[in-house]
């Protein structure tokens, strides 16, 4: 009940009030190394509002039970709450049917589920196309798939601005192409990829397309039917939800083609020692006891963000991005990697020959959390011939005042390390 009241209070605000929003996030009141926390690592994981925390506590306090398997009251309450969360996710992504939503342990789990399924659908000489802007979890499973099947992995190259080379993409399209994988938004650079065009072109040769929406969903509300995406995957912990919950959307016909990823309870219809038959969607892919409270809390997180509004979030985060970009470029020797005109609130940068880890360490001493390193995107770093970057990523609960403190922190780090 507390969670619902909290969300209604947020929804009643007619204008975006970041200070009011910040009150929903308990962690933003803490100090780190004696300084107020400034959290600019949102691309790795977002922070959690009180409404979502309350939902988790409520589950364990009042109706903790396993789902789908009991006739007692607690089991039925938990089952209803879990399946209502699935419907919320279905509506958020505009999937045609709720059973096209599979709840997984994360984006990586969802990707591996698809890759495992395609092991029985690909043959030697078939082609799998991935982009050069991918996270490692969007590269390694497809390499493993190609090793198992004899399929050929091809790569869409990138440009200096951090965008995909669409001319090269057009040349990579062939009748041998069976599967295309591309992220909606680059985790390392923030680039928004033209997935509508990629999906349309891939479908012309009968290829299926998997979209990694992990970095897009905090900023963009995807419509999987309008996109005509075959698969779309995302993580709850990037959209104010809990860790350990992933979202896999798949077209019903394609999900029916894929074999189960894991065997066990829940994913069966009938079991004998001679033969087992499998449950229908979505349970075919949800073996064992799931992260029940996590699934329920994911529905609350989606409610929370929709109450604020994704257009409102996008507009405000664009302001933060432009403001931070202008301020950072005033620092001598600073270079931003990923300069597409279409990007989300992510800035990856280096300053002269200073190692990004050193800048990140000094910022941490000032209570400023950023991400440093290759961001699980080593091919991007290899392209730019750098060891990594400092990545500052913003969310709707961040402020321009925090950016000002961050800029001073970067300047201090540069002075100390030069």
Active site residues: 376
Torsion angle defined by CA atoms of residues 80, 86, 91 and 93, in that order, rounded to the nearest 10 degrees = 170
Q: Label residue 236 exposed, middle or buried (CB < 10 Å: 0-12, 13-18, 19+).
A: buried
* Closest to 63 in 3D by CA, of 241, 292, 366: 292
- Tell me the DSSP string of 189-209: T-BBP-HHHHHHHHHHTT-EE
Is beta strand 231-235 parallel, antiparallel or unpaired with respect to 208-212?
Answer: parallel
| C-beta separation of 160 from 108 below 8 A | no
Dmax (CA) for the chain in angstroms is: 72
List Cα–Cα distances, 251 to 30, 57, 127, 254, in angstroms.
43, 34, 21, 5
- Strands 231-235 vs 38-39: parallel, antiparallel or unpaired: unpaired
Residue 80, both tokens = 């209803």
Element (H, E) at 389: strand 389-393
362 touches 416 (CB < 8 A):
yes
Q: Which helix (H) or strand (E) holds 118?
A: helix 107-118
State the Cα–Cα distance between residues 175 and 206, nearest whole angstrom: 8
Number of H helices, E strands in the chain: 15, 17
CB contact at 8 A, 136 and 112: no
Cis bond before residue 215 (omega within 30° of 0): no
Handedness of CA 107, 111, 113, 114 (dihedral sign): positive
- For residue 29, CA distances in Å to 6, 24, 178, 220 come to 18, 10, 49, 27
Which of 112, 108, 98 lies closest to 145, judged by CA? 112
Would you say 340 and 8 are in contact if contact means Cβ atoms under 8 Å apart?
Answer: no
The single-letter DSSP state of residue 310 is: H
């Amino acid at each position: 009940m507390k969670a619902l009241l909290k969300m209604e209070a947020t929804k009643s605000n007619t204008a975006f009030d970041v200070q009011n929003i910040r009150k929903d996030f308990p962690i933003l009141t803490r100090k780190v190394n004696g300084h107020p926390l400034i959290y600019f690592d949102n691309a790795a994981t977002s922070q959690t509002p009180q409404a979502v925390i309350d939902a988790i506590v409520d589950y364990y306090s009042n109706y903790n039970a396993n789902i789908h398997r009991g006739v007692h009251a607690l089991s039925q309450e938990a089952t209803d709450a879990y399946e209502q969360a699935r419907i919320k996710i279905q509506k958020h992504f505009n999937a045609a049917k709720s059973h096209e939503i599979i709840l997984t342990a994360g984006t990586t789990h969802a990707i591996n589920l698809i890759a495992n399924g395609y092991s029985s659908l690909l043959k030697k000489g078939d082609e799998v196309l991935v982009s050069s802007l991918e996270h490692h979890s969007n590269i390694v499973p497809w390499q493993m798939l190609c090793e198992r099947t004899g399929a050929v992995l091809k790569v869409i190259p990138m440009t200096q601005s951090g965008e995909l080379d669409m001319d090269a993409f057009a040349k990579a399209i062939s009748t041998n192409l069976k599967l295309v994988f591309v992220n909606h938004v680059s985790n390392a650079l923030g680039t928004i990829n033209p997935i509508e065009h990629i999906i349309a072109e891939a479908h012309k040769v009968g290829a299926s397309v998997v979209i990694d929406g992990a970095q897009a969903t905090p900023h963009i509300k995807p419509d999987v039917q309008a996109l005509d995406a075959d698969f779309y995957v995302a993580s709850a912990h990037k959209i104010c939800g809990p860790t350990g919950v992933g979202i896999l959307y798949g077209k019903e016909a394609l999900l029916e083609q894929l074999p189960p990823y894991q065997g066990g309870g829940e994913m069966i219809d009938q079991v004998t020692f001679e033969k087992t038959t499998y449950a229908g969607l979505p349970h075919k892919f949800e073996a064992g006891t799931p992260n029940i409270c996590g699934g329920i809390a994911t529905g609350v997180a989606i409610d929370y963000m929709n109450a604020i509004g994704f257009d409102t979030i996008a507009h405000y985060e664009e302001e933060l991005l432009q403001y931070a970009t202008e301020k950072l470029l005033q620092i001598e020797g600073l270079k931003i990697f990923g300069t597409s005109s279409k990007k989300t609130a992510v800035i990856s940068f280096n300053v002269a020959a200073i190692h990004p880890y050193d800048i990140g360490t000094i910022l941490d001493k000032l209570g400023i959390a950023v991400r440093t390193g290759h961001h699980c995107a080593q091919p991007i770093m290899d392209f730019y011939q750098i060891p990594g970057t400092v990545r500052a990523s913003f969310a709707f609960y961040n402020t321009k005042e925090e950016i000002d403190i961050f800029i001073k922190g970067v300047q201090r780090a540069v002075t100390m390390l030069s």
